[in-house]
A and B are shown apart, each in its own frame.
Chain A
């Protein structure tokens, strides 16, 4: 199972993004500045928009899902239960996973706070296994506890290609490979932990650890804590 990008280019007025590389099974983290083209690349990889040039080939990928940055876009149900059913899911376990069970009155999903709606949409998406899962800013609008819970759920995913686009600085799942958008190009920084040394957008605490010669095995909080406490 792999997703191959050959000389892919996305372009708008006065802006362009180039990308090449192979996404294999595992969790991939893509970082970059705001406006660098993370969301555009997410749409390209999910096959939702065609590239201006180049080709994107999928091998062994039969199911694709994308979580948009704004969870409102996914809503089609008129209450939480019908929203779960619109995803083809049984409501009770999904609502429990999203921490939204127990509500007495039916509530329209758009009346939830953005954080609650994000939890609901992510719970619906993560309730199924997809060969290719593209997550655009999955941590935005979530508090620290929910971010950690999401990291745990993502780390537990078995099989498939998971690509996370984020500018999150503190909470990460266990990732296999780091990519970076810089200067209008997607750069493959390689596998962990060697990728960390080349990661320009690395959060300050990771840069600090590397500066002190304590390279963490991965970027989960447990890994960073282990590296910080290493003697």
Chain B
């Protein structure tokens, strides 16, 4: 989906739908299979599998301790897949466009810029993690749960350093509040079809079936 407005809107609606229950999650999963180009999404967002494993672990703990873990696992997995779909279609600058279109050149621009920085930081962290892993292996340290603490420290340190450098750079350039930006969006027919399908999924899940079928009454 090229149009970030439709992608963000569909993602919000589909996430809500998936979170509402297992039936909603299955409906959203069907939408994901049909409209998201699953292979491409899974190839681009490799963090999906570890994230699903983590959710499955918590789901199992929940199931064993109080029940409802299976439903939680299914719903969260589908939400992760929707997140991966949003991430895989990301193009630099589109969140500034979305923010400005939605909330104007001051608050909207700033929120968009923060989202943009977050996305860029995420990409850098993924690449940094790969280097950290290689560096630990060179030291003869086997990558495992024990490696996560130093790795997290380095990632956090790197993210804070970059944030500080960016803030200094923006201050030096005279950034104060908001900015001028005229976003241009391309909306191909496929996007409209996928967006309408997402709305249909939402309606089917949230509106009782009896409302559609008059004979039922």
- Given A86-B141, A88-B140, the answer on whether A74 and B135 have CB atoms closer than 8 Å is yes
A73 touches B141 (CB 8 A): no
B139 touches A110 (CB 8 A): no
> Is residue A70 within 8 Å, beta carbon to beta carbon, of the partner chain?
yes
Which residues of B have CB within 8 Å of A86?
139, 141
Which residues of B have CB within 8 Å of A66?
134-135, 138
Cα separation A68 to B131 with both chains bound (whole Å):
8
Which residues of A have CB within 8 Å of B132?
73
A73 touches B131 (CB 8 A): yes
Cα separation A87 to B147 with both chains bound (whole Å):
15
Q: How many residues of B contact A (CB 8 A)?
A: 16
Centre residue among A65, A70, A88 by max chain B CB count within 10 A: A70
Which residues of B have CB within 8 Å of A88?
140
Q: What secondary structure prevails in chain B residues at the interface with A?
A: helix
A residues 31-86 with Cβ under 8 Å of B?
43, 48, 64-66, 68, 70, 72-77, 86
Cα separation A75 to B135 with both chains bound (whole Å):
8
In the complex, what's the smallest C-beta–C-beta distance from A179 to chain B, in angstroms?
22
A65 touches B141 (CB 8 A): no
Centre residue among A64, A68, A76, A110 by max chain B CB count within 10 A: A76
B139 touches A68 (CB 8 A): no
B residues 128-148 with Cβ under 8 Å of A?
128, 131-132, 134-136, 138-141, 147
Cα separation A73 to B141 with both chains bound (whole Å):
13
B residues 120-162 with Cβ under 8 Å of A?
128, 131-132, 134-136, 138-141, 147, 150, 153-154, 157-158
The size class of the interface chain A forms with chain B is 10 to 19
Which residues of B have CB within 8 Å of A68?
131, 134-135
Cα separation A166 to B154 with both chains bound (whole Å):
24
In the complex, what's the smallest C-beta–C-beta distance from B74 to chain A, in angstroms?
34
Which residues of A have CB within 8 Å of B154?
72-73, 75, 110
B141 touches A72 (CB 8 A): no
Cα separation A76 to B133 with both chains bound (whole Å):
11
A65 touches B138 (CB 8 A): yes
Q: List 27 A-B contacts (CB under 8 A).
A: A48-B134, A64-B138, A65-B138, A66-B134, A66-B138, A68-B131, A70-B131, A70-B158, A72-B154, A72-B157, A72-B158, A73-B128, A73-B131, A73-B132, A73-B135, A74-B135, A74-B138, A74-B139, A75-B150, A75-B153, A76-B136, A76-B139, A76-B141, A76-B147, A77-B150, A88-B140, A110-B153
